Structure 1
Amino acid sequence: MSQLSFFSADLTPPRVEDLGGLLAGHGQISAGPDGARLSILLGQEWRAKALVREFRVRDVSAEVLPAAEALSGGLLDPAEDGTDGGVLLRSERSSALTELARAWTRGAVKSVPPGLSAGAGLLRCWTLAAGRHDDAGFLLGLDRHAPDTYEPLASVCARAGLAGALIGARGGGPALRIVGHRRHERLVELLGTPPPEAPAGAFPLPDH
């Protein structure tokens, strides 16, 4: 068994800023007088269970609702993809998330914070929210409603040793595709141990 890196998500202290990984994907955040709320529609329930844990270790409560229930209750936009299945994960409205909302928005538009770094915690949350394998490598999903975030997020990953190729909807995206043994091992090193809910093969593992 390889030794864990000091930069692994297993060893780095959790920070609220790490939840920005959901916003690197297709998550949304809204701010109000009572604090901010972070939410994301997920196609697989295991992702929601794993992310609830990531919220909890950062002292933020979150709940999981069937997408159909969220839609009927007015908690989900009918235009969102996948409302016929999946789940809605949403945090409590919390002042702890206010700075995250401020960092990731410009007006009402999602924007990558200046100076963002792809730390282990952020990458883990991003992978849990929108990461998956394909035939060519590993995809970190992007928000189809926020194309201006693609290039900045690609640059953030490149600085972390995870240079990838941006792919569009025809290629299975929008997503950042990470390929190559060295980059794969770097990703594995940063992400840490797969969550127990993850199906076999869903989370990056060391090559053997």
Structure 2
Amino acid sequence: MSLSGLGDTGKAQPPPALFPAPESDTPTPGRRRGGAPRNGPSQHGSPVNGPAPGDDAGRQLVFFGADAAEPAVADLAGLLAGPAEVVRMGGTARLSVRVDAAWRVHVLVAELASRGLAASWEPIEGERHAVRTSYTRVLKPLAAAWLNGSTKRPPAAFHLTGRRLRLWLAAAGTPEPPDCYLLRLGPDDQECWESIGVALAAAGLAGTLVGPAEGGPAYRIAGRRRLARLAELVGGPPPAAPVDAWPARQ
């Protein structure tokens, strides 16, 4: 059962049911993701506002935001900051992640395709889905940076950019009304959690670690100011994402 990361959906197995089938999320040169100008309405009917004139912090956030650079394979480190896994086989590697909603499958497959990576998916237990790339040499450097033997751990220079955060949100971000957002972690990645928290703080998103007994593991980003910063960094919601599942500009 597969959904090609290059937009070629197999006839035998359609993608997960979604409302309605989304358009491609691959960025178009000269346009913002979602096709709306920064100060115009998004396709979801919500304003997408730029930083206020003279707002130096806002300009800095845009510079490091998801729209500040073209998609790159290195962005997949954002998935590994969350619950994704990477494994090696010979001179190749494969990345996989389990998600809890069909819209996440559509977003991730499109994001992987925009980086030249074919992806497949399959339903798993509990109405969840597994999304995975093919084994490819392209992912070998990412695996080498993140694996210590078979154990996942962030590299020493790991940091979070807007595009990395956008992928993390697409795979495992959950709003917690009224003023919180959860970024879920890998349940078996305890060795990663502290370093991920440091990277979040360095990005201006200091969070509280929520343990498994409290509904985690996850980092809780709390407060309107941090949520506004998160929204600025990750950009507007992908076409397939429910608007209320994505952090909104304040």
Tell me which interval the TM-score lies in, with the shorter structure as reference length. Answer: 0.7 to 0.9
Distance in 2 separating the partners of 1:206 and 1:199: 15
Cα offset for 1:34?
A: 4.8
* Segment of structure 1 superposing worse, 26-35 or 115-124: 26-35
Cα offset for 1:40?
A: 1.1
For residues 92-116 of structure 1, the C-alpha deviation after alignment (integer angstroms, 9 at most, x for no partner) is: 1111100111111111101011111
1:78-89 to structure 2, matched below 5 A, reads 83-89=125-131
Give the aligned partner of residue 75 of structure 1.
none
Contact map agreement 2:145 2:155 (CA 8 A) in 1: yes
Pair 1:133-2:180 in alignment: no
Give the aligned partner of residue 15 of structure 1.
72
Q: Which runs of 5+ in 2 are unaligned?
A: 1-38, 40-48, 52-61
Give the aligned partner of residue 3 of structure 1.
50
Cα offset for 1:171?
A: 2.3
Cα offset for 1:8?
A: 1.9
The residue type paired with residue 186 of structure 1 is: R
Cα offset for 1:126?
A: 0.6
1:85-100 to structure 2, matched below 5 A, reads 85-100=127-142
Higher relative CO (Cα under 8 Å, sequence separation at least 6) belongs to 1
Pair 1:184-2:231 in alignment: no
Q: Radius of gyration: which is bigger?
A: 2
Give the aligned partner of residue 161 of structure 1.
204
Secondary structure of the 2:75 match is: helix
Secondary structure of the 2:246 match is: coil
Q: CA RMSD in A?
A: 1.4
Question: Matched residues, percent identical?
Answer: 38
Cα offset for 1:170?
A: 2.8
Secondary structure of the 1:116 match is: coil
Give the aligned partner of residue 202 of structure 1.
245
Q: TM-score normalized by structure 2?
A: 0.74
Cα offset for 1:6?
A: 2.7
For residues 18-38 of structure 1, the C-alpha deviation after alignment (integer angstroms, 9 at most, x for no partner) is: 112221111111111251110
Q: Which of residues 120, 135, 143 is equivalent to 1:101?
A: 143
Q: Which of residues 32, 41, 47 is equivalent to 2:104?
A: 47
Pair 1:121-2:178 in alignment: no
Name the count of aligned residue pairs: 192
The residue type paired with residue 117 of structure 1 is: H
Secondary structure of the 1:55 match is: helix
Give the aligned partner of residue 61 of structure 1.
118
Distance in 2 separating the partners of 1:31 and 1:17: 16
Cα offset for 1:48?
A: 1.1
Secondary structure of the 1:10 match is: helix
Give the aligned partner of residue 71 of structure 1.
none
